[in-house]
Amino acid sequence: MNKIVQESTIRCPSCGHENCEVMPEDFCQWFYECHSCGTLIKPKAGDCCVYCSYGTVKCPPIQAGSSCCGQ
């Protein structure tokens, strides 16, 4: 079994700013505010969370091979 990676770097689709964040294990993060420009980032259609859409690492449930938050 692969180790679950807890950190992911989110890249803002508006300004390109990147920030490393620790991902929550027990809920999907549907919104993320860019630390640089203040844009409220939402997941792309078909993705469960902002980490799956804009992060360097998918969220913990997806890494584990299960659906994320009931999807």
Report the number of distinct structural domains present in the chain.
1
- Whether 64 is in a domain gets the answer no
Nearest CA to 25 out of 51, 57, 61, 54 is that of 61
Q: Is residue 16 part of a domain?
A: yes
pTM above 0.75, yes or no: yes
- Which residues span the domain enclosing 20? 7-56
Cβ neighbours of 60 (radius 10 Å): 18
pLDDT digits (tens, 9 = 90+) for 30-41: 999 999 999 999
Domain-located, residue 62: no
Looking at the domain assignment, is residue 71 inside a domain?
no
In a domain, 15, yes or no: yes
The span from the CA of 65 to the CA of 4, in Å, is 11
The mean predicted confidence, pLDDT, of the chain is 90
CB atoms within 10 A of CB 63: 18
pLDDT bin (cut points 50, 70, 90) of residue 68 is low
At residue 1, the pLDDT reads 56
pLDDT at 61: 86
Q: Is residue 61, in this structure, part of any structural domain at all?
A: no
The set of residues, in sequence order, having a beta carbon less than 8 Å from that of 45 and lying 6+ positions away, is: none
Mean pLDDT of 40-46: 96
Identify whether 35 is part of a domain: yes
